[in-house]
Structure 1
Amino acid sequence: MLDAAFLRLWTGMTASGLATWALPFILGLAVLDKTLSPAALGVVLATRTIGFLVAVPVGGVLADRYSRRAVVLWSGLIAAGASPVIAVGSVPLMAVAAAVVGVGQGACRPAFQALVAEVVTVERRQRANAAMTLSVRVTTLVAPGLTALLATVVDTGWLLAGTGLLWLVAALLPPAGSAEPAAQATRPRLVSEFTEGVREARRHPWFMAGLGALAAVIFTGYSATGVALPLLSGSEAVLAAALTAYTAGALAGALIIARWRPKRQGWAALAGLACYGFAPLSLLVDLGPAVVVAAYVLTGIGIELFNVPWFTATQREVRPELLARVSSLDFLVSYGLAPLGLALIAPAIDAYGTTAVLAGCAVICFAAPAVAAVVPSSRHFGRSLESSGEPRRR
């Protein structure tokens, strides 16, 4: 994985991930030092999410229509220019700037995902995707302390300007891909082109089944992690230990899947996704902090045993000229449902009780991947040589 082009791509994606993660943390520090109100924080983060969700499908279409490298460049430049503005204006101006940052973030995600398939050869993509997710997890583990340390030296305005520099790295550093966009005299509308990506996704039953399972797990298990854990952990120490355990488990999972090639990779990945059910289950059974921490380690391992083969299979099986659009559908569904689940789980707990909601979340997390595994092509996340009688697309 020491190829120069991949290292440039990896560094650019890492910079974009760090900038994405840093914004809510830095704004949280601004709330602590009374320069930003909690209500304003919610508005700014909500507008960033809206910008992201609007830009993801558009970015997918543009990354298939034009050069993926060009889409990364302009998306990063947009986010870089808007990031410092968040620090210098009123709340309405901050919200607009955050929305623009969200647009840059959303537009670059499918382009980055498709660029991996252009820069990395087929046989090395699983290790490449594992390296990508390792950078995300290391950032999540190390960056809070580093950012808090920097906050003792500079104010939050300079930290926000620093995220703009990270976006510049994300924009300028990645290499050019190998694919050339097909020349067309006329182009259909964006909606029509995105719909073409949806049709391509529907050609792959394993993808639709896996995406449905992922959506169900995010809507329930992720919400339990984000809302129920702080409510039920009992102390800051247990909360911090559980979240750290999740990240440590994800690091371990990425290291495992970088080299492990299960015979039935789709089933193995879906089994990993089902491990998310242990998060709400550990809060339900109340067997002590050690069980909660162990469950979150297992959850972290499982999510990367799913993520890496999932991305690799998508890059392998989907037609190259439609890869960014299919990836944007993936991000749109998974990221789009996350805020909705987070908003609904606390009222659901108030209405139906903790036991019923956590039990329901656990059952869905275990059952949804099992249902997806019933789809024949889910066994291998693609057409197997045995079942199709023809080689897989490379």
Structure 2
Amino acid sequence: MVPDTVRGTSVLRSAQFLRLWTATTASGIATWALPFVLGLAVLSRSLTAVELGVLLAARTAGFLAAVPISGVLADRYARRRVVLWSGLISAAAAPVLAAFVGESLVLSAAAAVVMGAGQGACRPAFQALTAEVVEGDQRQQANAAMTLSVRVTTLVAPGLTALLALVVNTQVLLLGIGALWLVAALVPPAGTGQVSRSGTSFVAEFLDGVREARRHPWFLAGLGALTAVIATGYSATGVVLPLVSRDRYGTEAVLAGALTAYTLGALAGALLIARWRPRAAGWTALAGLALYGFAPLSLLLPVHPFVVLAAYTVAGLGIELFNVPWFTATQREVDPGKLARVSSLDFLMSYGLAPVGLALIAPAISAFGATAVLVACTAICFAAPALAALTPSARDFGPRR
């Protein structure tokens, strides 16, 4: 018997898991809070819109650079150690960013790069650490609990942060983000994985992770579908939804309502999938991912605003019906010694390419019109998961049991 792993009827009764949950929640809040706090700085005229764009791009660059490196490190060394140093790096960058934001764009951008690197480095390590701390039959509930905390944060935190901004300045809020990263660094429990150092180069070890991913056709198919949906559906939400809210409905309430509805739908999805064990888990997850197609579809048609809200609720529900089984299957099927590298490939391809979609959708609208772009986004969101479901092992995200 391994005393440091989670056993029993409920993962929430484990002190080990609660420590892990607290750390991942802190990192999730810190990750979400940075662009929001910097956006508040623009409203208070501490930053310009151009400076905000530079800082967010710098953070993204740090994230993308660190993810593949962290995947190798988290498989080469103890996952707990990688989480520790990732959190400490981001925590150390926070006071530097607080000191120079609005004063020196070069130094604040450098701090944003470092903070993004810490954020990117912790993601694969947390995924692999979860597989070490939580027993297999409890991982779906554990992943649902983690995503639930993220959704609650995105629902509640904007209002609380805006209220805090009335009494403290941007610098204090940035220092608070640094404190959250300290929690993420110091609180997690130790894992049970064995350290394995092959002595080969970083590139060779990362490519070994790619070969492991290729051993699982369901993973490649699902990752392709997820990347396509994020690059198109998320981009439609980020760029077209504000335009539709303003031009078609003449109010920002539709934009705010749709984003809130999406979060509420995701909360419902996380609660549902925490207990539900569908027989064809992979097909169910891919069907949930396809539900995001209703979001750009609702923007395409001149419908009542409540139809848009309903579409975004369904999209949020579906994305969690995909996320939780996806993470759980990856932790179950992938070789434990290569899990962090495969997870880094997941984050690198799906969320790493999201900015590319955002960058391309505005020129595409200018060239082809919003209607054509939304039709394309809708078709891709529905078609990509359907094509992924044709992969034989996609039915259960792994061999049938």
Give the TM-score, by structure 1 length: 0.96
Is 2:288 aligned against 1:269? no
Aligned to 1:172: 186
Q: Is the 8 A contact 2:75 2:196 kept in 1?
A: no
Aligned to 2:298: 282
Aligned to 1:241: 257
Q: Is the 8 A contact 2:61 2:116 kept in 1?
A: yes
Q: Supply the distance in 2 between the matched residues of 1:86 and 1:286 (Cα, whole angstroms).
A: 44
Aligned to 1:87: 98
Cα displacement string for residues 126-168 of structure 1 (whole angstroms, at most 9, x for unaligned residues): 0000000001000000000111111111111010001000000
Cα displacement string for residues 7-49 of structure 1 (whole angstroms, at most 9, x for unaligned residues): 0000000000101111111111111111111111110110000
Residue 183 of structure 1 deviates from its aligned partner by 4.8
**One-letter identity of the residue aligned with 2:289:** L
Q: Report the aligned-residue RMSD.
A: 0.7
Cα displacement string for residues 52-84 of structure 1 (whole angstroms, at most 9, x for unaligned residues): 000000000000000000000000000000012
Is 2:308 aligned against 1:292? yes
Runs of at least 4 residues off by over 4 Å: none
Q: Supply the distance in 2 between the matched residues of 1:129 and 1:370 (Cα, whole angstroms).
A: 24
Give the TM-score, by structure 2 length: 0.95
Is 2:264 aligned against 1:252? no
Is 2:51 aligned against 1:40? yes
- Spell out the pairing of 1:193-342 with structure 2 (5 A cutoff): 193-234=205-246, 235-342=251-358
Distance 1:350 1:20, change over 3 A: same
Cα displacement string for residues 331-379 of structure 1 (whole angstroms, at most 9, x for unaligned residues): 0001221001011111111111111110110000000000000000000
Q: 2:31 aligns with which of 2, 11, 20?
A: 20
Q: 2:111 aligns with which of 97, 111, 122?
A: 97
Q: Supply the distance in 2 between the matched residues of 1:28 and 1:216 (Cα, whole angstroms).
A: 28
Distance 1:190 1:183, change over 3 A: closer
Q: Supply the distance in 2 between the matched residues of 1:233 and 1:193 (Cα, whole angstroms).
A: 47
Q: 1:190 aligns with which of 199, 202, 205?
A: 202
Q: Supply the distance in 2 between the matched residues of 1:126 and 1:81 (Cα, whole angstroms).
A: 33
- SS of 2:256 mapped into structure 1: helix
Q: 2:22 aligns with which of 11, 17, 31?
A: 11
Q: Supply the distance in 2 between the matched residues of 1:92 and 1:183 (Cα, whole angstroms).
A: 37
Aligned to 1:64: 75
Q: Supply the distance in 1 between the matched residues of 2:307 and 2:62 (Cα, whole angstroms).
A: 38
Q: Which moved more, 1:344-353 or 1:132-141?
A: 344-353
- Spell out the pairing of 1:129-144 with structure 2 (5 A cutoff): 129-144=143-158
Aligned to 1:388: none
Residue 182 of structure 1 deviates from its aligned partner by 2.2
Q: Supply the distance in 2 between the matched residues of 1:20 and 1:83 (Cα, whole angstroms).
A: 12
Q: Which moved more, 1:341-350 or 1:319-328?
A: 341-350
Is 2:366 aligned against 1:354? no
Q: 2:388 aligns with which of 356, 372, 390?
A: 372
Q: Which runs of 5+ in 1 are unaligned?
A: 386-394
Aligned to 2:133: 119
- SS of 2:177 mapped into structure 1: helix
Q: Is the 8 A contact 2:232 2:357 kept in 1?
A: yes
Q: Supply the distance in 2 between the matched residues of 1:48 and 1:182 (Cα, whole angstroms).
A: 31
Cα displacement string for residues 244-280 of structure 1 (whole angstroms, at most 9, x for unaligned residues): 0000000000000001111000000000000010000
**One-letter identity of the residue aligned with 1:50:** A
Aligned to 2:87: 76
Cα displacement string for residues 188-214 of structure 1 (whole angstroms, at most 9, x for unaligned residues): 111110000000000000000000000
Q: Supply the distance in 1 between the matched residues of 2:107 and 2:197 (Cα, whole angstroms).
A: 39
**One-letter identity of the residue aligned with 1:162:** G
Q: Is the 8 A contact 2:286 2:385 kept in 1?
A: yes
**One-letter identity of the residue aligned with 2:397:** F
Aligned to 1:389: none
**One-letter identity of the residue aligned with 1:374:** L
Count residues with an aligned counterpart: 383
Aligned to 1:163: 177
